[in-house]
C-alpha cells in the first residue's frame, strides 16, 4: 500500500533528523543529511507522481495506533495529496541539492541540519494526515521546525524578532484551525476527516468554520492582512530554507485550505467565494506593491510570495463561486488554474531564492543597493535568475504565464454567475490581477536590473565569483522545469485532472487530445494557447533575424566607454538604484497605499558633506492592526504588573472580597 | 507481603527521621534518593496489588492512584535533580550541611504529607495533610534566609494560614451538613460515606461549604486572586522545591478540590461547582498570561506560568464531561512533568549564570547547548505546542469547549495565545543572541530533565491504551 | 436539650461576636490585646459549655487550651513584642473605625442571612452557632485587612481562628477538634515567633517603596 | 494543399507587417511635417535609416553584457511574432490559435521586459531613467490593455482574435457602449505603448524628457536597427489590432479565395494609411505631458477598460 511506503520514507526523514542532531558537528554530516533527504524526497516525488498520473487507484489509507488515543492517526493518499506531495518533495529535493553546496558556507550547521529534514517530513505529514489531530500536529511540527530554521542566525536580534512574530502568527493560525475543527467535529468529537466529511451541519456553522479556516491557513500562506510575519521570517532563514518556506510551505497552507474548504466542508456558498476572491485580489496587488518598495533581495522575493498567494486564492475563490452555482466546468478551470499556479510558484520562487542564495554566497550581500554587474562575474546564476524573473512575471513562453492565462480564462467565464455581488467583484478582481501581473514585471525588472546588471555598487559585488556546481545544478534543474511546464502545459493540466475530478466532480477536457500540444481549457474556438509554438516562433524568429542581420550588416563591434549623452565614465554611484528605480511607481501607488515619503537633505552650498536621501514606506497593516494590538497587550501587562507588588494586607483583602462576594451570591441565590 | 499504602506513608516518615540525623550532605542526598525510590516502588506496586477496601481513614481508587503515582515519580526524579543541585549550593556556600539536614527531612515530610493527603478518605485527615505539606514547604522556601526568601516565606505562610482556616471552616460545614443524615462522629467525615449520602444533605449548607473549600484549597492551587504567595515562593525557594511545588503540591490541592466537587455533584440542588471553577480558571489563565510579560526573574516567570496552567486545568474540570475531564487529567500530568523539567533546567541555569535575572541570561544555546535546548523544548511544551503532550490536552479542551461554550473557548484561546507570546519572547532572549555574563561549566545531571521531556514528547504522540482507558475511567468518575 | 442550655450557648456565641466588634473598634494595641484575651476567654467559656451540653469531655481540653494559651500566653508575648519593636504608638487603621464598624455590621448580617437560610433540619443550636462562628470568622478577616501592623493582624487571625474553634465545638460529635485546636495553637505560635524573629514590623503592609523593591526583587 | 495555402497566407502576413512597418513610421513623420508646414522626409526614409544602421559598426560600452547584445533580437522577435498573429487582411491564420489576444499582449510585455533590462545593463543614469519610467507606464497600460481584452472577449465570447474579429463583423453586434469605451481605452494604450505624444516624444533630443529613447540610448548599429524596426512593428501591431477589431470589414474570412485576400490586403493598407494619418493629426494637435501627468492619462484608460468590463458583467447587451 503506497501510503505505508510513503510514511516509512517520511519516518526516514525524521530519522535522519535524529542522526543530524547527534552528528551535526562532523564535517561529513552536511553531505550525509542533505544526501539522505535528497534521495528520500526524490523517491517520494516518484511515488506521488505515479500515484497522480497512474491508473484510477482508490485512495489508500492507513491507521496507526498513535496520536489521539481513541482515534489513532489516520493517513490517506488521494489525488489531491499526491499532487501536493509532488510539489513539496520536488522542492525539497532541489533544495537538498542546492544545500549540498550552499551548506558548506554555513557557520553553525548544527543549528540547521537537524531541522531541515524534520521540516520536510512535517510538510509531508500535513499532506498525508487524515484526521484533525494528526493534521494539526504535523502542521505545528512544520511550523516549529521552520521556526528553528528562521532563528539560525540568532545573534542578529532582527532574526529572533522575526522568529517570534512568525511563531505567534503560526500559533494563531493553529488555534484558529483548532477551533474550526472543533466546530466541524461536533460535540461528540468526530475528529476523523471521514466523519467530518459525512457530518451535516447548519450553514452558519459552516460559515464560521470556513472563516476560521481562512484565518488559519491564510496566516500560514500569507494572505493580507495576515502576511506580516512572512517577509520577516522567510529571508531570515538560510536561502535553501527560504526557498522551501516561500515556495513550498505556503503551498502546504494552500493545501490545508483546499482540503478543508473543498474536500471536508464541501457545498460552498457563493459568499465564501466572494470573500476568498476579494482577499486574493487585495493580497495580490498589495503583495507586489510591498515587493516593489524593497531593496533587500530576499525580502523582495518574500513579499512577492504574498502576491502569488493572492493569485492562487483568486483562483480558489472563483472555484468556490462556480461550485456554489453548480458550474462544474468553471470550477474545474479555476481550480486547475490555482493548482497550476501552485506548482509554478513553487518552481520559480525556489529558483529565485536559490539565485539570491547564490548571490549571498558569492557576495555576502542581500542589499541590492550594494550589488550590480553580477552578470559578468556569475553568468550562469545570472542566466538562471533571468529565467526565473521572466517566468514569475507571467510572460510567455514560460510557465508563469500559463497559470495566469488559465485564471483569466476562468474570470472570463464568470458573467454566467447569477449573484450580483460576484458580478461586480469578479471584474474588479480581474483588473487587480492584471495590475499585479504588470507590477510583477516591473518588480523583477528592478530586481534583476539592479542586482545583476549595470556596474558593481560595492566591493563585494566587484569581487564576486560563480558559485559551486551543486547550486548551479539545482538552479538549472528548475530552469528546465519552468521551461517544460511552460511549453507543454497540457501535461500538467492532464495530471491535475484527477484532483479537480475529486474536488469539484469535474475536470478539464483531456489536453492530450488537442492537436499540436496546445491547450484549450473550454473549447479551441473559444481560447487556446500553445506554449511550444510560441517558444519555437520566438526562437526561430530571433535566430533567423540574427543570422540574417549578420549576413547583411557589418560584423564589427567596437568597445568604448558608455555614451550616456556625453558623460562617459561617470562613477557607478550615478547609476539608478533600487529605490530610485521604484520612485515613479512609489509616487503613483505608494503615496496612497503606504504613505510613502521621499526626503532629500541637501548640504548647504560649499559644504563638502554628502546629500542624504531617505524613502519612508509604512506598512498600513502593521500600523493599523498589529502595532495597536501589541501596544494594548503591553499596556495591560504593565498595568496589571502592579499586582506583583501589592502588600500582604492587600492580597488578603482580595481573598476577603472574593469570599464576601461569593457569600453574597449564595445569600441571593434562590 | 507488606501493605503498599502503609509503606508509601511509612517510608517517607522514617526517612525524615533518619535524614534529620544524617550528617554529611552527600550521604543524605543519596539516602533521600533511595527513600523516594522506595516510595515510588510502593506507589507503583499499588497498581499491581488488589486495592484495600476503603477504610475510615484511607482510600485507594482510580482517581487518587493517578495522583499518587505521579507524585511518587516526580518526587523521585526531583530528588535525583536535587542531589546534583545542592552540591553546587554547598560549594557556593549558600547552604550549610545543617540546612541540608533540615532540607532533606522536610523534603520527606512533604512527600509524606502529600501521599497522606492523596490517600486520605477522611476530609479532616485530608485537611491536616494538606496543611502539613504547606507548612513544610513554607519552611523550605525560607531556607536561604535572604530578605527575599524570608519575604516570600512569610507571605506564603500568612496567606497559607488564612487558606488553612477557610478550608477548615468549609470542612466543618460539610460535617454539619452530614450530621442530620449520617450518624455523626467519624463516619460523617469519611468521604466515601459522604458521597454515598450527599444527595440528602442540605444543599445550601453544602454550597456555603464549597465556597469556603474553593477559597481554602484554591489558595493552595494558586488560583487568581488567591495566588499571591505562589510566584515569590517559586522564585525564592531552592529550585527543587519550586519543582515540587509546581509539579505536585498544586496538584494535591486540586485533588482535594476535585473530591469536594464530586461531593457537590452528587447533590443536584446544591450550587453547581462547575461555573465557579470555570470562572476562577479563566481568571487565573488571563491574569497569569498578562503577568508573564513584565517578569524579570526567570523562576518567578515560570511560577506565573504554573498559575496559568492550573487555571486551564481547573477550567477543564469545571467544564466537566468525558472529553474535558480527560483533557484536564492529561494536562495536569503533562504540566507536572514539563514544569518540573523546566525547573530542573532553570535551576542549573541559575547556577551556571549565577543569577536568576532574565536580563542577565542570554545565548544559552551557545554556551550550554544541553541546558539551552532542554529549556527550549520545555518551554515549547509548556506553551502547548506539538508534538508535546500539553498540545493534546489543549486540543481536547479547546475543541470540546468550542462546541459547547464558544465564547469561553475564545477567551481560553486568547489567554493561551497571550501567554505563549510572553513565554516565547523571553525564551528567545534567554537561549538566543550573543552570550552575556558569567558562564560557569555546568556540573548538572541532565537525566531527570530529559527523562521528563522524553515522557512528555512520547505522550504527545502516543498514549498507551491502558493509560487511556484508566484516564477515561477516572474522567467518568469525575462526571 | 433544654431552653436554658440553648440560651446560654446562644449568649456565649453572641458574646464572641460582640467582642469581635470590640476588637474592630479598638485602635490602641494594648487595648486590642486585652480585648483579644477577653475574646479567647469567651471562646473558652462557650467551648466548655458545648462540652457540657454535648457531654464531650475532650472538648474541655480545647477550652483549657483556649483559656491558657490564647487568653494568657499569647497576649503577654505580643505585649512583650510590641514593647521590643516599639510600635505601641501606631495609629494603624486603613479606614476609619466608623466605616469598619459598618462593614462589620454588613458582614454579620450576611453571615446570618446565609446561615439562617439553611433549612431547619440541622439542629437549631448548631445553626445559631454556625451563624455566629461565620460572623466571627468574617470579622476576623475584616480586622486583618483593615489593620496595618503585624500584631493587630495576628490578633485578627487569631480571632478568626477562634471562630473556627467555636464552629468546630458547636458541631456535635465532630472528631479531631482537639487536634485541630492544638495544631492552630502551634500555627499561631509560629506566627508570633516569626514576627519576633524576623522583626517583621511593617512587612505586612509597608508603604516604603524602596523596601518593596528590595524585598520583591522584581522591579528596578 | 490547403495546409500549404494557409502556410503561404501566414508567411505573407508576416512579410507584410514587416514591410509595412517602416512605411507606417515614415508616413506618420511625413504627415506630421506636412501638418506643420514642412516638407518632411521622404516616405522611404525609415528604410534608408535601417539600412544605414545595418552598415555601421556597433559601438558598445565596455561593460555591456551578453544580455545587451541579445536583447534587440529578442525584442524584435517577440514583437514580430505578436504582430504576425494579429489578423491583418485574413482571419483564421494557420497559427492564430497558438496564441490568443492575452498571449499577444503578454508577448509585447515580454519584449518590453528585455528592452527595459537592456536599458539598465550598461549602468548609466539615462538608461535607468528610461527603464524605470517605461515600466511605470507599462504597469498602468498593461492592465488597461487586458481590460480591453476582457471587454472584447466578453462580447465575442472568446479571446481568440480571429473569432473576435469574425464575430464583430456580424451585424448582431450592433453599437455597444462597452465597445466604445474599449476603443478609447485601446487608443490611449496604443499611444502609450508606442511612446507617442503626449506620453513620450519619439523625436525628442532633450534627455530628461526621453523615455523610450533613453532606454535605447546606448544602442548603435545593427542593434539599434533591430530596435527601431521593432518599434515601428509595434506601431503597426496596434494599428492593425484596432483595425481588425473595430473596423473588421474587408478582412478575408477563413478559407477564402485569392480575390478576397486581395481585397483584404487593399483594405488593410487603406486602414493603415487612415490610422497613421489620424495618429499624426492627433499628435500635432496636442503637447507632451509631464512625466507624472502621464499616469493620469493612462489611468483614464484603465478606468475606461474597467468600466467597459463592468458594463458587460452587469448586462451582456451593453
Check residue B437 and give left, alpha or beta (phi > 0: left; psi -120 to 50: alpha).
Answer: left
pLDDT interval class at C202 (50, 70, 90) = very low
Residue with more model confidence, D257 or B208: B208
Please, which residues 246-275 of chain A have a Cβ atom closer than 8 Å to chain D? none
Please give the DSSP secondary-structure letter assigned to residue C2: -
Residue C148's φ and ψ, nearest 5 degrees, are -95, -30
Q: What pLDDT is recorded for position A635? A: 95
Asked whether residue A207 carries a pLDDT value surpassing 50, the answer given is: yes
Report the C-alpha gap between B144 and D34 in whole angstroms. 104
CB contact under 8 A, A401 and D295: no
* Polymer length of chain B: 479
- Cell of residue C144, nine digits: 486583618
Mean residue pLDDT across chain B: 90
Q: Is residue A493 part of a domain?
A: yes
pLDDT interval class at C89 (50, 70, 90) = low
Q: What pLDDT is recorded for position C122? A: 59
Asked whether residue A9 carries a pLDDT value surpassing 60, the answer given is: yes
CB contact under 8 A, A434 and D61: no
Q: What pLDDT is recorded for position A439? A: 95
Neighbours of chain A (3+ CB pairs under 8 A): B, C, D
Report the C-alpha gap between A380 and D66 in whole angstroms. 12
> Of the candidates A650, B148, B291, which has an alpha carbon nearest to the alpha carbon of residue C207?
A650
- Cell of residue B14, nine digits: 522514617
Question: Could you identify the residue written with the cell 493580497?
Answer: A283
CA distances from A345 to A389, A399, A449 (A): 11, 9, 21
> Of the candidates C160, C171, C143, which has an alpha carbon nearest to the alpha carbon of residue C29?
C143
Q: What pLDDT is recorded for position A53? A: 83
Residue B58's φ and ψ, nearest 5 degrees, are -115, 150
Identify all chain D residues contacting A529, using CB atoms and an 8 Å cutoff: 98-100, 102-103
Please give the DSSP secondary-structure letter assigned to residue A513: G
Q: What pLDDT is recorded for position D205? A: 66
What burial class does residue A603 get, using C-beta atoms within 10 Å of its C-beta: 0-12 exposed, 13-18 middle, 19+ buried? Answer: exposed
Identify all chain B residues contacting C134, using CB atoms and an 8 Å cutoff: 169
* B161 in C contact zone (CB under 8 Å): yes
Residue of A nearest to B397 (CA): A182
Residue to test with chain A: of C144, C208, C213, C215, most A Cβ within 10 A: C144
CA distance A523 to chain D (A): 9
Residue of B nearest to A629 (CA): B418
Bridge-based pairing state of the strands A557-560 and D58-61: parallel
Q: Are residues A363 and A492 in the same domain?
A: yes
User: How much is the average pLDDT of A238-244?
Assistant: 94
CB contact under 8 A, D159 and A542: no
Please, which residues 351-410 of chain A have a Cβ atom closer than 8 Å to chain D? 372-373, 375-376, 379, 382, 386, 390, 393-396, 401, 405, 408-409
Concatenating the DSSP letter of every residue in A204-247 gives HHHHHHHHHHHHHHHHHHT-TTS-TTHHHHHHHS-HHHHHIIII
Bridge-based pairing state of the strands A60-64 and A597-601: unpaired
If DSSP states are collapsed to H, E and C, what string results for A102-114? HHHHCCCHHHCCC
* Polymer length of chain D: 318
Residue to test with chain A: of D67, D130, D314, most A Cβ within 10 A: D67
What burial class does residue B345 get, using C-beta atoms within 10 Å of its C-beta: 0-12 exposed, 13-18 middle, 19+ buried? Answer: buried
Q: Are residues A384 and A499 in the same domain?
A: yes
CB contact under 8 A, A644 and C138: no
What burial class does residue A194 get, using C-beta atoms within 10 Å of its C-beta: 0-12 exposed, 13-18 middle, 19+ buried? Answer: middle
Q: What pLDDT is recorded for position B109? A: 95
Contact indicator for C115, B211 with CB cutoff of 8 Å: no
Helices (H), D86-195: 101-121, 125-156, 161-169, 177-193
Q: What is the pLDDT of residues B113-143, one digit of tens each?
A: 999 999 999 998 999 899 899 989 998 998 8
Report the C-alpha gap between B254 and B257 in whole angstroms. 5
Q: What pLDDT is recorded for position C204? A: 44
With H, G, I as helix, E, B as strand and everything else as coil, classify residue A64.
strand
pLDDT interval class at D298 (50, 70, 90) = very high
CA distance D277 to chain A (A): 30
Neighbours of chain C (3+ CB pairs under 8 A): A, B
CB contact under 8 A, B169 and C134: yes
pLDDT interval class at C217 (50, 70, 90) = very low
Contact indicator for A128, A76 with CB cutoff of 8 Å: yes
Dihedral in degrees, nearest 10, Cα atoms B371, B372, B373, B379: 100
- A-D contacts at Cβ under 8 angstroms: 286
CB atoms within 10 A of CB C152: 28
User: How much is the average pLDDT of B314-324?
Assistant: 92
Q: What pLDDT is recorded for position A515? A: 75
Q: What pLDDT is recorded for position C16? A: 92
pLDDT interval class at A428 (50, 70, 90) = very high
With H, G, I as helix, E, B as strand and everything else as coil, classify residue A25.
coil
Q: What is the pLDDT of residues C116-172, one digit of tens each?
A: 777 555 566 677 778 899 999 999 999 988 887 778 888 888 999 899 988 888 887
Please give the DSSP secondary-structure letter assigned to residue B189: S
Domain holding A587, by residue range, is 578-601+611-618
Asked whether residue A55 carries a pLDDT value surpassing 70, the answer given is: no
Residue of D nearest to A577 (CA): D128
Concatenating the DSSP letter of every residue in B333-371 gives HHHHHHHHHHHHHHHHHHHHHT--BGGG---HHHH-HHH
* B355 in C contact zone (CB under 8 Å): no
- The DSSP H or E segment spanning D60 is strand D58-61
Q: What is the pLDDT of residues A274-315, one digit of tens each?
A: 999 999 999 999 999 999 999 999 999 999 999 999 999 999
Using CB atoms, which residue from A525, A562, A580 is nearest to D158?
A525
Question: Could you identify the residue written with the cell 485574413?
Answer: D90
Concatenating the DSSP letter of every residue in D179-232 gives HHHHHHHHHHHHHHHTT-TTT--TT---GGG-SHHHHTTT--HHHHHHHHHHHH
Using CB atoms, which residue from B392, B399, B461 is nearest to A185?
B399
Q: What pLDDT is recorded for position A514? A: 80
Report the C-alpha gap between A150 and A234 in whole angstroms. 7
Asked whether residue C209 carries a pLDDT value surpassing 50, the answer given is: no
Contact indicator for D99, D195 with CB cutoff of 8 Å: no
Find all residues with CB under 8 Å of A480, minimum gap 6, and list them.
Answer: none
pLDDT interval class at A519 (50, 70, 90) = confident
Mean residue pLDDT across chain A: 91
Asked whether residue C214 carries a pLDDT value surpassing 50, the answer given is: no
Mean residue pLDDT across chain D: 89
Residue to test with chain A: of B210, B385, B469, most A Cβ within 10 A: B385
Q: What pLDDT is recorded for position B220? A: 93
Residue to test with chain C: of A642, A644, A647, most C Cβ within 10 A: A647
Residue C40's φ and ψ, nearest 5 degrees, are -60, -40
* A667 in C contact zone (CB under 8 Å): yes
pLDDT interval class at C90 (50, 70, 90) = low
CB atoms within 10 A of CB D125: 18
> Of the candidates B327, B306, B282, B268, which has an alpha carbon nearest to the alpha carbon of residue B471?
B327
Residue of A nearest to B401 (CA): A182
Amino acid at each position: 500500500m503506497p501510503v505505508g511506503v510513503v510514511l516509512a520514507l517520511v519516518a526516514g526523514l525524521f530519522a535522519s533528523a535524529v542522526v543530524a542532531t547527534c552528528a551535526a558537528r562532523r564535517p561529513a554530516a552536511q553531505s550525509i543529511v542533505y544526501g539522505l533527504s535528497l534521495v528520500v524526497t526524490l523517491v517520494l516525488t516518484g511515488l506521488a507522481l505515479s500515484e497522480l498520473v497512474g491508473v484510477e487507484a482508490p485512495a489508500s489509507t492507513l491507521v496507526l495506533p498513535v496520536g489521539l488515543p481513541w482515534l489513532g492517526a489516520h493517513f490517506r493518499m488521494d489525488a489531491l495529496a499526491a499532487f501536493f506531495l509532488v510539489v513539496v518533495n520536488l522542492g525539497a529535493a532541489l533544495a537538498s541539492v542546492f544545500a549540498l553546496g550552499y551548506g558548506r558556507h554555513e557557520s553553525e550547521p548544527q543549528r540547521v541540519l537537524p531541522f531541515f529534514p524534520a521540516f520536510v517530513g512535517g510538510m509531508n505529514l500535513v499532506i498525508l494526515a487524515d484526521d484533525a489531530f494528526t493534521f494539526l500536529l504535523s502542521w505545528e511540527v512544520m511550523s516549529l521546525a521552520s521556526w528553528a530554521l528562521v532563528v539560525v542566525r540568532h545573534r542578529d536580534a532582527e532574526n529572533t524578532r522575526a522568529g517570534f512574530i512568525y511563531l505567534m502568527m503560526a500559533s494563531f493560525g493553529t488555534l484558529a484551525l483548532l477551533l474550526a475543527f472543533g466546530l466541524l467535529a461536533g460535540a461528540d468529537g468526530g475528529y476523523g476527516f471521514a466523519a467530518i466529511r459525512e457530518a451535516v451541519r447548519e450553514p452558519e456553522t459552516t460559515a464560521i468554520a470556513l472563516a476560521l479556516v481562512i484565518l488559519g491557513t491564510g496566516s500560514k500562506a500569507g494572505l493580507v492582512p495576515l502576511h506580516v510575519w512572512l517577509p520577516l521570517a522567510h529571508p531570515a532563514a538560510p536561502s535553501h530554507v527560504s526557498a522551501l518556506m516561500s515556495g513550498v510551505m505556503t503551498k502546504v497552507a494552500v493545501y490545508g485550505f483546499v482540503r478543508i474548504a473543498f474536500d471536508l466542508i464541501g457545498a460552498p456558498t457563493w459568499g465564501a467565494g466572494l470573500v476568498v476572491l476579494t482577499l486574493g485580489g487585495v493580497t495580490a496587488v498589495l503583495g507586489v506593491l510591498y515587493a516593489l518598495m524593497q531593496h533587500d533581495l530576499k525580502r523582495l522575493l518574500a513579499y512577492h510570495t504574498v502576491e502569488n498567494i493572492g493569485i492562487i486564492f483568486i483562483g480558489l475563490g472563483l472555484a468556490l463561486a462556480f461550485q456554489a452555482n453548480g458550474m462544474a466546468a468553471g470550477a474545474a478551470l479555476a481550480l486547475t488554474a490555482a493548482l497550476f499556479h501552485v506548482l509554478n510558484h513553487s518552481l520559480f520562487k525556489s529558483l529565485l531564492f536559490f539565485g539570491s542564495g547564490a548571490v549571498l554566497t558569492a557576495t555576502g550581500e542581500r542589499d541590492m543597493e550594494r550589488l550590480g554587474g553580477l552578470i559578468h562575474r556569475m553568468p550562469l546564476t545570472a542566466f538562471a535568475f533571468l529565467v526565473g524573473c521572466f517566468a514569475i512575471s507571467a510572460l510567455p513562453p514560460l510557465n508563469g504565464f500559463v497559470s495566469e492565462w488559465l485564471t483569466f480564462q476562468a474570470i472570463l467565464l464568470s458573467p454566467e454567475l447569477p449573484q450580483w455581488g460576484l458580478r461586480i467583484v469578479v471584474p474588479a478582481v480581474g483588473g487587480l490581477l492584471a495590475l499585479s501581473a504588470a507590477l510583477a514585471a516591473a518588480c523583477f525588472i528592478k530586481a534583476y536590473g539592479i542586482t545583476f546588471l549595470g556596474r558593481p555598487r560595492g566591493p563585494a559585488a566587484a569581487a564576486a565569483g560563480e558559485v559551486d556546481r551543486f547550486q548551479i545544478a539545482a538552479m538549472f534543474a528548475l530552469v528546465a522545469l519552468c521551461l517544460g511546464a511552460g511549453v507543454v502545459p497540457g501535461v500538467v493540466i492532464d495530471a491535475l485532472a484527477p484532483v479537480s475530478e475529486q474536488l469539484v466532480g469535474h475536470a478539464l477536457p483531456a489536453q492530450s487530445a488537442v492537436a499540436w500540444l496546445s491547450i484549450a481549457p473550454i473549447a479551441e474556438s473559444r481560447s487556446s494557447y500553445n506554449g511550444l509554438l510560441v517558444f519555437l516562433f520566438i526562437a526561430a524568429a530571433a535566430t533567423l533575424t540574427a543570422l540574417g542581420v549578420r549576413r547583411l550588416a557589418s560584423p564589427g563591434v567596437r568597445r568604448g566607454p558608455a555614451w550616456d549623452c556625453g558623460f562617459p565614465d561617470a562613477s557607478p554611484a550615478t547609476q539608478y538604484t533600487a529605490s530610485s528605480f521604484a520612485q515613479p511607481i512609489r509616487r503613483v501607488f505608494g503615496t496612497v497605499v503606504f504613505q510613502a515619503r521621499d526626503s532629500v537633505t541637501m548640504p548647504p552650498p560649499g559644504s563638502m558633506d554628502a546629500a542624504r536621501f531617505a524613502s519612508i514606506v509604512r506598512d498600513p497593516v502593521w500600523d493599523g492592526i498589529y502595532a495597536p494590538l501589541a501596544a494594548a497587550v503591553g499596556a495591560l501587562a504593565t498595568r496589571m504588573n502592579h499586582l506583583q507588588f501589592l502588600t500582604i494586607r492587600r492580597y488578603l483583602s482580595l481573598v476577603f472580597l472574593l469570599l464576601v462576594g461569593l457569600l453574597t451570591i449564595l445569600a441571593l441565590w434562590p | 507481603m507488606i501493605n503498599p499504602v502503609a509503606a508509601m506513608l511509612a517510608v517517607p516518615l522514617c526517612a525524615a527521621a533518619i535524614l534529620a540525623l544524617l550528617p554529611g550532605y552527600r550521604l543524605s542526598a543519596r539516602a533521600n534518593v533511595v527513600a523516594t525510590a522506595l516510595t515510588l516502588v510502593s506507589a507503583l506496586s499499588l497498581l499491581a496489588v488488589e486495592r484495600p477496601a476503603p477504610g475510615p481513614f484511607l482510600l485507594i481508587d482510580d482517581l487518587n492512584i493517578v495522583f499518587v503515582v505521579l507524585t511518587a515519580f516526580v518526587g523521585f526524579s526531583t530528588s535525583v535533580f536535587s542531589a546534583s543541585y545542592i552540591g553546587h549550593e554547598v560549594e557556593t556556600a549558600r547552604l550549610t550541611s545543617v540546612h541540608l539536614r533540615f532540607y532533606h527531612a522536610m523534603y520527606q515530610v512533604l512527600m509524606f504529607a502529600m501521599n497522606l493527603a492523596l490517600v486520605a478518605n477522611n476530609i479532616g485527615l485530608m485537611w491536616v495533610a494538606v496543611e502539613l505539606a504547606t507548612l513544610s514547604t513554607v519552611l523550605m522556601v525560607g531556607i536561604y534566609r535572604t530578605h527575599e526568601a524570608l519575604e516570600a516565606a512569610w507571605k506564603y505562610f500568612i496567606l497559607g494560614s488564612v487558606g488553612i482556616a477557610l478550608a477548615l471552616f468549609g470542612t466543618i460545614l460539610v460535617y454539619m451538613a452530614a450530621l442530620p443524615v449520617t450518624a455523626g462522629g467519624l463516619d460523617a467525615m469519611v468521604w466515601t460515606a459522604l458521597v454515598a449520602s450527599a444527595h440528602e444533605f442540605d444543599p445550601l449548607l453544602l454550597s456555603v461549604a464549597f465556597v469556603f473549600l474553593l477559597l481554602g484549597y484554591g489558595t493552595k492551587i494558586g488560583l487568581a486572586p488567591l495566588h499571591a504567595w505562589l510566584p515569590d515562593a517559586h522564585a525564592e525557594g531552592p529550585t527543587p522545591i519550586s519543582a515540587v511545588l509546581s509539579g505536585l503540591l498544586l496538584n494535591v490541592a486540586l485533588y482535594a478540590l476535585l473530591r469536594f466537587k464530586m461531593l457537590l455533584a452528587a447533590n443536584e440542588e446544591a450550587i453547581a461547582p462547575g461555573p465557579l471553577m470555570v470562572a476562577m480558571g479563566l481568571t487565573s489563565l488571563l491574569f497569569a498570561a498578562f503577568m508573564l510579560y513584565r517578569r524579570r526573574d526567570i523562576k518567578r516567570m515560570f511560577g506565573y506560568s504554573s498559575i496559568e496552567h492550573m487555571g486551564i486545568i481547573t477550567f477543564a474540570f469545571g467544564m466537566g464531561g468525558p472529553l474535558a475531564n480527560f483533557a484536564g487529567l492529561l494536562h495536569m500530568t503533562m504540566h507536572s512533568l514539563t514544569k518540573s523539567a523546566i525547573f530542573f533546567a532553570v535551576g542549573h541555569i541559575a547556577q551556571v549564570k549565577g543569577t536568576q535575572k532574565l536580563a542577565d541570561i542570554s545565548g544559552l544555546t551557545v554556551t550550554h547547548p544541553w541546558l539551552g535546548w532542554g529549556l527550549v523544548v520545555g518551554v515549547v511544551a509548556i506553551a502547548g505546542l506539538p508534538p508535546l503532550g500539553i498540545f493534546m490536552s489543549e486540543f481536547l479542551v479547546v475543541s470540546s469547549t468550542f462546541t459547547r461554550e464558544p465564547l469561553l473557548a475564545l477567551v481560553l484561546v486568547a489567554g493561551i495565545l497571550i501567554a505563549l507570546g510572553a513565554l516565547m519572547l523571553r525564551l528567545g532572549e534567554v537561549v538566543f543572541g550573543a552570550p552575556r555574563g558569567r558562564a560557569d561549566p555546568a556540573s548538572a545531571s541532565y537525566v531527570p530533565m530529559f527523562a521528563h521531556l522524553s515522557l512528555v514528547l512520547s505522550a504527545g504522540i502516543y498514549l498507551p491504551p491502558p493509560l487511556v482507558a484508566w484516564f477515561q475511567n477516572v474522567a467518568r468518575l469525575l462526571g | 436539650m433544654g431552653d436554658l442550655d440553648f440560651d446560654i450557648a446562644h449568649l456565649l456565641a453572641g458574646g464572641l461576636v460582640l467582642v469581635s466588634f470590640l476588637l474592630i473598634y479598638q485602635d490602641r494595641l494594648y487595648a486590642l490585646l486585652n480585648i483579644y484575651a477577653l475574646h479567647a476567654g469567651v471562646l473558652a467559656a462557650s467551648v466548655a459549655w458545648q462540652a457540657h451540653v454535648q457531654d464531650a469531655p475532650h472538648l474541655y481540653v480545647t477550652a483549657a487550651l483556649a483559656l491558657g494559651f490564647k487568653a494568657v500566653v499569647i497576649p503577654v508575648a505580643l505585649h512583650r513584642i510590641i514593647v521590643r519593636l516599639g510600635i505601641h504608638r501606631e495609629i494603624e487603621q486603613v479606614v476609619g473605625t466608623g466605616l469598619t464598624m459598618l462593614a462589620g455590621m454588613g458582614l454579620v448580617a450576611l453571615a446570618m442571612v446565609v446561615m439562617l437560610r439553611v433549612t431547619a433540619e440541622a439542629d437549631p443550636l448548631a445553626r445559631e452557632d454556625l451563624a455566629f462562628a461565620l460572623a466571627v470568622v468574617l470579622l476576623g478577616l475584616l480586622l486583618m485587612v483593615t489593620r496595618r501592623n503585624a500584631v493587630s493582624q495576628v490578633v485578627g487571625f487569631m480571632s478568626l481562628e477562634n471562630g473556627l474553634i467555636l464552629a468546630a465545638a458547636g458541631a456535635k460529635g465532630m472528631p479531631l477538634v482537639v487536634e485541630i485546636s492544638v495544631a492552630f495553637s502551634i500555627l499561631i505560635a509560629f506566627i508570633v515567633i516569626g514576627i519576633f524573629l524576623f522583626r517583621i514590623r511593617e512587612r505586612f503592609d509597608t508603604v516604603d517603596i524602596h523596601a518593596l523593591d528590595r524585598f520583591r526583587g522584581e522591579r528596578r | 494543399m490547403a495546409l500549404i495555402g494557409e502556410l503561404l497566407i501566414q508567411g505573407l502576413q508576416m512579410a507584410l507587417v514587416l514591410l509595412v512597418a517602416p512605411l507606417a513610421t515614415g508616413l506618420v513623420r511625413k504627415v506630421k511635417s506636412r501638418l506643420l508646414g514642412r516638407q518632411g522626409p521622404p516616405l522611404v526614409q525609415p528604410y534608408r535609416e535601417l539600412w544605414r544602421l545595418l552598415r555601421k559598426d556597433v559601438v558598445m560600452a565596455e561593460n555591456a553584457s551578453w544580455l545587451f547584445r541579445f536583447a534587440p533580437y529578442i525584442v524584435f522577435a517577440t514583437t514580430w511574432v505578436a504582430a504576425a498573429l494579429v489578423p491583418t487582411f485574413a482571419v483564421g491564420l494557420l497559427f492564430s490559435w497558438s496564441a490568443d489576444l492575452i498571449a499577444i499582449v503578454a508577448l509585447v510585455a515580454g519584449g518590453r521586459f528585455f528592452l527595459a533590462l537592456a536599458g539598465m545593463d550598461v549602468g548609466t543614469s539615462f538608461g535607468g531613467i528610461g527603464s524605470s519610467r517605461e515600466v511605470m507606464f507599462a504597469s498602468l497600460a498593461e492592465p488597461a490593455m487586458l481590460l480591453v481584452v476582457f471587454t472584447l472577449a466578453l462580447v465575442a465570447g472568446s479571446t481568440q482574435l480571429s473569432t473576435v474579429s469574425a464575430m464583430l463583423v456580424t451585424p448582431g453586434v450592433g453599437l455597444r457602449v462597452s465597445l466604445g469605451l474599449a476603443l478609447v481605452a485601446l487608443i490611449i494604450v496604443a499611444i502609450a505603448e508606442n511612446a507617442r505624444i503626449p506620453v513620450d516624444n519619439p523625436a525628442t533630443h532633450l534627455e530628461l524628457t526621453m523615455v523610450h529613447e533613453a532606454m535605447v540610448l546606448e544602442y548603435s548599429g545593427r542593434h539599434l536597427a533591430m530596435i527601431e524596426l521593432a518599434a515601428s512593428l509595434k506601431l503597426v501591431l496596434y494599428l492593425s489590432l484596432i483595425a481588425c477589431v473595430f473596423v473588421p470589414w474587408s478582412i478575408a474570412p477563413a478559407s477564402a479565395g485569392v480575390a478576397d485576400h486581395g481585397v483584404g490586403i487593399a483594405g488593410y493598407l487603406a486602414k493603415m494609411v487612415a490610422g497613421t494619418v489620424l495618429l499624426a493629426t492627433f499628435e500635432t494637435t496636442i503637447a507632451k505631458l509631464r512625466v507624472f501627468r502621464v499616469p493620469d492619462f493612462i489611468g483614464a484608460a484603465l478606468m475606461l477598460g474597467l468600466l467597459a468590463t463592468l458594463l458587460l458583467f452587469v448586462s451582456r447587451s451593453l
